[in-house]
Amino acid sequence: MWTRRFCAALALQLICTGPSLAVDRIYALGDDPVDPKEWVSLPKVTIARGYLPEAVDLSARFPEPGDQGKTGSCVAWATAYATRSYYNFIEKGTSRRDAGSIASPAYLYAKIRDKNQSCQTSGSNIVIALKYLEENGVPALADYGTAALCETAVPSFPASRLGFRVKGLRAVQLPTPGNPAPRASLDKIKQELATGNPVLFSMKVDRKFMRLSGANIYRSTVKERRDGDAGSHAMTMVGYDDQRQAFRVINSWGRDWADDGFGWISYDSYLKDSNYAVVMDAGVTPPKPDPVPGRDAPNPNACDDKGTTPWPACEAYEKLSKPLTASSRPRIETSEGKATFKYGDTLSLTVTAPNFPSFLYLVYLQTDGTAVNLLPRRGAVRQQVARNSVFKFGDGEEGRSRFRVGAPAGPEVVIAIASRSPIAELEALESEGKTYRVAASAKNPQTNTESPPERAFLSALQTGLAAQPDPSAPQREVSAEIFRLTVEP
């Protein structure tokens, strides 16, 4: 028996203005809080060491966005209609327009809502919905259509016509009442999407979100704006784009909302206004997502089957593709003049800053997953280094530490990044005046996240490169160099 606290579905009057017309539309919500006891026993998603592509889009594998109308049925639309149907298309190879292959949101809603309330005010939550699918299943949309969304007398179906079951769920992001979600949630969500798993989530929304149009990105938050009454809404994430710093979602407000029923939510808005996120276990292994158009240009350092560069170096090449082509870049050399080292060898590095004053970042990603910040800031604020400044590491001279090569063997990478302005996201990875060196299995004390160090570094790098503190100013000038080396027994 699951405890359900009632939270009324919120219907807000929306006035959409265009060049020559005004349309009134009432959008309903309907996501209720989850009993905190439910989270205790749920399996949790953890972040693995591995590649995350710059963008993923699963939307072509979903049914056309539906319309919950004036009912508080968003949970049923997100779980049954959108997400469970997505897995069914993959498993059965059927068309996403085939009503016989789409799970009925009306049936699920009728089974999980509070029947003592009207369908305009009665909601539910994603955990209850998934548990119902696990134990009972639902008929297809062809057998129980959306016209029955408000029906209280639900017909009986034989077991043979109740499909779309699930095996369970995993928690991606737990509720953090009164606080933003941890930033590590972003990597967990991207990891699931990159393996083909959509992410179900609950988020506080209000009128500005309802006014989202086209491919614009929702960047506001309920707390900051208070634009009319706010309530919680359930949706499904179907992709992300690190260049846009946003998640792509399928909604249940019809195809007139946003971009044909799909929309974009910025990472920061999600972190501030989200309630929780989970992934469905449908017992189906999805195929690898197709490359996003325009992001799959031939690249010898790509993180794919055709590339020859191992991770994490391949992802560093991807994220730094433009800085690596700058006319003036930092230089990384070994005093030994080689890139292959045996156990016991001395590894000494010479790094030369580019031909412009810069904030210089130098990170060594090791085979065992350790991330070493070789050039920590001194003091509360990082200082610019002069053009062509030279830094030496690992030679044991003039009071410097000596770097001795040891196990494990494998590929390693040193990354130098020079920026005319400080990169706050990289600054946040370190404590003042300390070199961070964190094992892959440990929790990162600097960021208090669950991300493995190289994952935390690469994600922070991507965010920092995309950030534009002053939208009216040109993008920050950044140059970079990557030095690959190999450790052998």
pLDDT digits (tens, 9 = 90+) for 373-410: 888 887 777 899 999 999 999 999 999 999 999 999 99
Residue 434 has pLDDT above 70, yes or no: no
Share the mean pLDDT of the chain.
86
- CATH architecture classification, 12-281: Alpha-Beta Complex (3.90)
Contact 109, 71 (CB under 8 A): yes
pLDDT band at residue 441, thresholds of 50, 70 and 90? very low
Of 132-141, 309-318, 474-483, which one has max mean pLDDT?
Answer: 132-141
- With H, G, I as helix, E, B as strand and everything else as coil, classify residue 142: coil
In the prediction, which pLDDT does 279 show?
Answer: 98
pLDDT digits (tens, 9 = 90+) for 95-139: 999 999 999 999 999 999 988 888 888 999 999 999 999 999 999
CA distance 270 to 219: 9
pLDDT digits (tens, 9 = 90+) for 146-196: 988 888 788 899 999 999 999 999 999 999 888 889 888 999 999 999 999
In the prediction, which pLDDT does 298 show?
Answer: 56
Of 222-236, 271-285, 433-447, which one has max mean pLDDT?
Answer: 271-285
- With H, G, I as helix, E, B as strand and everything else as coil, classify residue 314: helix
Which residues sit opposite 416 in a β-bridge? Answer: 362, 481
What's the rounded mean pLDDT across residues 28-53? 91
Residue 93 has pLDDT above 90, yes or no: yes
What's the rounded mean pLDDT across residues 353-379? 89
Lowest mean pLDDT among 115-119, 258-262, 413-417, 479-483: 115-119
pLDDT band at residue 23, thresholds of 50, 70 and 90? very low
In the prediction, which pLDDT does 297 show?
Answer: 54
Tokens found for residue 321: 């593709």
In the prediction, which pLDDT does 115 show?
Answer: 85
Contact 121, 72 (CB under 8 A): yes
Show the DSSP H helices in 49-183 as ranges: 74-76, 85-92, 105-112, 126-135
Share of the chain above pLDDT 70, in %: 85
pLDDT digits (tens, 9 = 90+) for 188-240: 999 999 999 999 999 999 888 999 999 999 998 766 555 455 789 999 999 99
CA distance 310 to 470: 35
Work out the number of other CB atoms within 10 angstroms of the CB of residue 439. 14
In the prediction, which pLDDT does 72 show?
Answer: 94
Work out the number of other CB atoms within 10 angstroms of the CB of residue 86. 28
In the prediction, which pLDDT does 215 show?
Answer: 95
- CATH 2.60.40 residue ranges of the chain are 313-488
Share of the chain above pLDDT 90, in %: 62
CA distance 149 to 133: 17
- With H, G, I as helix, E, B as strand and everything else as coil, classify residue 225: helix
pTM: 0.86
CA distance 233 to 212: 15
In eight-state DSSP terms, residue 485 is E
Altogether, the residues listed in the chain come to a count of: 489
**Range 313-488 classified under CATH 2.60.120:** no
Residue type at 23 in one-letter notation: V
In the prediction, which pLDDT does 445 show?
Answer: 40
What's the rounded mean pLDDT across residues 433-460? 59
CA distance 274 to 270: 5
Lowest mean pLDDT among 229-243, 353-367, 466-480: 466-480
Radius of gyration (Cα) for the chain, nearest Å? 25
Residue type at 107 in one-letter notation: Y
Work out the number of other CB atoms within 10 angstroms of the CB of residue 284. 18
Residue 460 has pLDDT above 50, yes or no: yes
CA distance 311 to 316: 8
**CB under 8 Å to 22, separation ≥6 — which residues?**
15, 16
In the prediction, which pLDDT does 469 show?
Answer: 62
